[in-house]
Structure 1
């Protein structure tokens, strides 16, 4: 049974900034490639913007979007460009072989979506009648996190970034300048892995303070990880991954996804962390109801939040990815059962802690 690499083993990969920022198009055993730009805190009417490409459909329930497949799962490439504004064409689906071109410094999806890299600058472009964008992204900061799974089956990195450019919505142009997150991952075409619930959220409190919150569960509702990462500029990440609680307190009426799966989307939720029996981090959030399908097998949207952390209070807007492919009896559990889920935490073998 493969185990996760240690930090020392990770350092031996020599995945430094210049190496990590190199594009990895699908090649050899690495059939799955993921690239994402997330801007979590934009002015109205957008609130957020994401530009997410996924080449290949992994055999993982939270990643598998059958409705986007036109040829085969491994040949399917999708690009999601969405924000809080109303759109219907935010998800584009392509044949990787017939409609895309992938190189070490460029991904091109027909003449609609385009991602390029030049040194530490990335360029993201979508041409669309509904929502278009032309963005330049710079990653001055060091790579914040990178990981690999044993046997070299996957690697992943993300970095804080600065973004500027133009968004066009309904023929009106908006200039933006903001902070965000740039992510890249690649993996072999792994056998089936039972990951059934995933949420990934970003709160950009100010230019020098960013919080990433994430949780992953399997089909039996066991928590694989639940963590809060707090990043100050020029400082080491503060990581909470023990006694972290994510609790959905209200949901929207049940929806049926284009894949035919029934799902409850979070309407109100909290994140909480305790240290020495004291609550040191408490975030309460309310969804804007702007969820859009197309993030793999789930949705993306935004929320308002109120945060208390280390005797300080903050409020603002956040970004949310939410996928719940668990059987409905887990989605509809009582509060008592949710609390019992927190102990003990089951840790599977193919996931970075």
Structure 2
């Protein structure tokens, strides 16, 4: 369903205060807490894009308290209640048992009130306070030990009126090691640390994609598209930030199109069917109406389930950024059919 760009942007400004925060430094007093009060669902996420093969990417996606939003929900994991159900994905292109699994909050999790410790049994731990964190993951076939330093460069994806839903992402620097089947990988570069909190409301989300590209050693680009009922776009934006620049958000001239899809829909553990993109293109203009970024992408056939109610993977891309040629490996999340 088509909707004019000015109308879309006007609606976005009405329901969300995120645009007004664009380009401002991260406020360390920003809420980062586990579930409490009316915020019954919380998400902590760490994404490490553009890794060497065979890893391609790494992410740790946690959801504590099952959300009411059907697109993000994994009701099949619930043994006691929504609030007592958490899930964890250790996503990467290599495969191993237990990459996605559920937990009971009261039985399995340790949650410090200030979020200085977020621990999922013996599997995963995020520890520390802004700006320095450690990340550990333990699986018989996959180990990770990473140190993450968060900058003050933040992208606010959503800040809905009335505190219904907040979601933001910090540009981070990281270093550490990953081991898979005895092979050790020394890693470093740009990553993200993300947080979201939500009240128990079912927002009508029909499609979601989120993508991350590290343009170079200093610059990171984020793309997000969210669609509601009948394919109406709720958000279409590209965020640019770097180690020394708070950057901004770009929406004019935005386009995203999936050009090829998997031939067979995937049936998710949550009981939904979705067809994932295998080739796609996206672009946006800068503040002067000139092309900012253009991406042509081909998926690496490494999608893994557990990005809440959808999939995460990587792709090979070519394109341009601010007039210069770029190429590399991007990170992609998809929920729903495009």
Match of 1:73, SS state, is: coil
Q: After alignment, is 285-294 or 226-235 more displaced?
A: 226-235
Please say if residues 111 and 119 of structure 2, whose CA atoms lie closer than 8 Å, have aligned partners that are also in contact. Answer: yes
Distance 1:88 1:269 in 2: 30
CA separation of 1:55 and 1:6: change in aligned 2, threshold 3 A: closer
Structure 1 segment 171-186 matched on structure 2, within 5 A:
171-186=182-197
CA separation of 1:8 and 1:248: change in aligned 2, threshold 3 A: closer
Structure 1 segment 38-77 matched on structure 2, within 5 A:
38-77=47-86
- Which of 249, 253, 261 aligns to 1:243? It is 253
Distance 1:8 1:318 in 2: 25
Please say if residues 285 and 305 of structure 1, whose CA atoms lie closer than 8 Å, have aligned partners that are also in contact. Answer: yes
**What does residue 89 of structure 1 align with?**
98
Q: Which runs of 5+ in 2 are unaligned?
A: 1-10
Please say if residues 89 and 130 of structure 1, whose CA atoms lie closer than 8 Å, have aligned partners that are also in contact. Answer: no
CA RMSD of aligned residues (A): 2.6
Aligned length: 322
Shift of 1:184: 1.1
Shift of 1:140: 3.2
Distance 1:162 1:136 in 2: 8
Match of 2:76, SS state, is: helix
Shift of 1:303: 0.2
CA separation of 1:316 and 1:118: change in aligned 2, threshold 3 A: same
Distance 2:159 2:49 in 1: 26
Match of 1:18, SS state, is: coil
Please say if residues 190 and 220 of structure 2, whose CA atoms lie closer than 8 Å, have aligned partners that are also in contact. Answer: no
**What does residue 102 of structure 1 align with?**
111
- Which of 163, 166, 175 aligns to 1:152? It is 163
Q: Does 1:168 align with 2:179?
A: yes
- Which of 266, 289, 294 aligns to 2:301? It is 289
Match of 2:72, SS state, is: coil
Distance 2:215 2:130 in 1: 28
Distance 1:274 1:120 in 2: 32
Please, what TM-score do these two structures have when normalized by structure 1? Answer: 0.84
Shift of 1:279: 5.0
Distance 2:258 2:179 in 1: 34
Distance 2:315 2:260 in 1: 13
**What does residue 230 of structure 2 align with?**
220
Please, what TM-score do these two structures have when normalized by structure 2? Answer: 0.87
Q: After alignment, is 85-94 or 65-74 more displaced?
A: 65-74
Match of 1:220, SS state, is: helix
CA separation of 1:88 and 1:67: change in aligned 2, threshold 3 A: farther
- Which of 108, 112, 133 aligns to 2:144? It is 133
Shift of 1:278: 6.4
Please say if residues 171 and 241 of structure 2, whose CA atoms lie closer than 8 Å, have aligned partners that are also in contact. Answer: no
Shift of 1:282: 1.8
Match of 1:62, SS state, is: helix
Shift of 1:286: 0.2
Match of 1:267, SS state, is: strand
